Structures are given as structure tokens and as C-alpha cells.
Amino acid sequence: MRTAELLSRVDGLRSGRTPFVLATVVRAERPTSAKPGDCALVLADGTVDGFVGGVCAESTVRLESLRLLQAGESGLLRITPHAGSPEPAEEGVRTVGNPCLSGGTLEIFLEAMVPATLVTVYGDAPVARALLRVGGALEYDVRPGGTEIAPDTSAVVVAAHGRDVDGRDEATVLRDALAAGVGYVALVASPRRAAGVLDELAALGVAPADRARVHAPAGLDIGARSAPEIALSVFADIVARRPRVHLPGAPNVPAGAPEVAVDPVCGMSVAVTPAGISAQHAGTTTWFCGTGCRQAFLDDPTRFR
């Protein structure tokens, strides 16, 4: 895929809230085949589209990209042909020794593109409108609620002040958000009315453990009075709880560190993904950094036990 075509895909991935890593070669020493400006997209399933070097370099880029994607971070990757990577550690640089490289060192910037945290707001009260404005200022993806809850929604805030939303009452909207597995579910209400809505949830058959997940009244107690201040308190609560809920929410973002295997031929760590290079032998799947190591293994598997 040519660079222009590859970059044209970026807008589509972003609009579709698809997480990916943009890998761009920023420095290349001969005789490596990659050149500065070469780039590739790495998707959450390990698929690599584009060119940032041979299959061995691509394998390293895949693993490091998946690690960064899970963390929602970006960084500079340096790939050298020296096993053990004798270079001193540098802040912001991850150096990996890849003995299968044909020679030369590659430096590749890996930019993780994780969709903004998706917050859905139900209601048309002043607080609801303030939530949309404050969330936008925080660069969150804040949207008015509809009949369906997007699968990658991180937070649902109901600020209807007792009014029905799309033909549903507040308790029904909260029940649906809980059933969808949304990480942060909140109701903007006074303590008395919040208790009443929670009783309605119980009448709808929502289990006590799920009812306990509803933040009602919503927001941190910061003495908020105006609609913008209440919106600020709600987002402060979301930020404060971020380590304990799924934020940012995005479809297909790895939930944990990528599964890693060791290439038995060269000793490289490789990501275990459908897009990786593997072989079946004696009922076991073995993973490789490239086709050369795979073929060497298949020629005589007993050498690498």
C-alpha cells in the first residue's frame, strides 16, 4: 500500500473510532530496506498495513505497537541488529535488538491513535447542555443519548431532571446502561430523588450490586451550584475513577498486555496474533519473527527443543 493511500485510511479509522498505531520510519541506516517516511498502520488485531522494513522488523513493530496501544501511549522504537541491545537506555526510546535484521538500525515513531473517551448524556436540562460543553473542552467525545448505547461507551450520565428521554424514564435508561456494561453510570439528581430512582431500578429487577454502580447523585462534592459547576463535578468524578473503569473506551483496544511468545530460532519476543507468523508441529503452535526463522524450524524442529 502506498503511503498516500495508507494515510487516507487514517481519517476513516478515526471517524469509525477504530484504534490503531501509525508507525513512521524517522531514521534508517543501510543496508536496511526501509527509508525515512515509510509508514504502516498497526491495528489492534496485529494486522500491519504498509511498510516499515522486512518481516523481522515488522514483527517487532507489531509487538511494540500493541503494547503502546493498550497503554494509549506513543514512543520511539529503535531496532538494532545486535542481540541484547548494548546501547544505554534513553528516556522515551525503546531499543530492541533483533538479530534477524539484514543490518542497519531503524528508528520508528509509533503514534497510538486511541479514540477519545465516549460519554453519552441523556436529557435536555441545563446540566445536560453544560455536560456537552465541558466535555468538549476536555476533548472527550460527548454525545446526546439515543435509543442505542454505543458498544464503546465509557460513561452514561442521565441529566433529565425527572423527564422522560426518548420515551423512557430515567430508571430505564440507567438500567440499559448497566446492562450494556458501561463503566461509569450516573444520575444528576438531589439525594432524595436519586434514592427514589434507585428504588425504581429495584422494581425493574436490577440487582443490588448493579444498583450500587450508579453514581447518584452524580459528581464529586465540590459545592457545585450552577449547571457548569455540576458538569465540572461530574467530569472530575469520571477522571478520578479512570483507573477503575474502562476509560478511554474504544472497540477492540486490547484489555491487557499482548500475549507474547518466544521465537525458538532467534530468541525474539513476538506478539501472538492472527496476523503473526506461526507453524503447527506435534500439536503445538510455535510463533516466529519472520518466515526465515519459521522455515529453519520446520527444516529440523529437533534443533530448537
| Residue from 24, 3, 20 nearest 253 by CA | 20
Shared-domain flag, residues 165 and 141: yes
Q: Which pairs with CB-CB distance under 8 Å and at least 24 residues apart come from 190-199?
A: 190/217, 191/217, 193/162, 197/170, 197/171
User: Helices (H), strands (E): how many in the chain?
Assistant: 8, 15
Q: Which domain holds residue 175?
A: 118-244
Cell of 44: 489492534
Shared-domain flag, residues 238 and 122: yes
Shared-domain flag, residues 233 and 129: yes
- What's the confidence (pLDDT) of residue 1? 57
What is the tally of structural domains in the chain? 2
More confident of the two residues 252 and 278: 278
Shared-domain flag, residues 240 and 122: yes
Look at residues 202, 226, 244 and tell me which one is the last residue of a structural domain: 244
Shared-domain flag, residues 163 and 217: yes
Shared-domain flag, residues 209 and 157: yes
Look at residues 193, 225, 244 and tell me which one is the last residue of a structural domain: 244
Looking at residue 213, which CATH number applies to its domain? 3.40.50.720
Shared-domain flag, residues 81 and 195: no
In a domain, 259, yes or no: no
Shared-domain flag, residues 43 and 138: no
In a domain, 250, yes or no: no
Region 238-252: what's the mean pLDDT? 59
CA–CA gap between residue 131 and residue 228 (Å, rounded): 7
Confidence of residue 251 (pLDDT cuts 50, 70, 90): very low
- What's the confidence (pLDDT) of residue 282? 86
Look at residues 226, 244, 262 and tell me which one is the last residue of a structural domain: 244
CA–CA gap between residue 158 and residue 194 (Å, rounded): 11
Q: What share of the chain is helix, strand, coil (3-state, %, to 5)?
A: 30, 25, 45
CA 177 to each of CA 100, 149, 217, 231: distance values in angstroms, whole numbers, following the listed order: 49, 7, 16, 19
The answer to whether residue 83 scores a pLDDT higher than 80 is: no
Kindly report the average pLDDT of the chain as a whole number: 88
Whole-model pTM over 0.85 = no
> Which pLDDT tens digit goes with each residue over 168-182?
899 999 999 999 999
In a domain, 270, yes or no: no
Scanning the structure block, which residue is given the C-alpha cell 507468523?
277
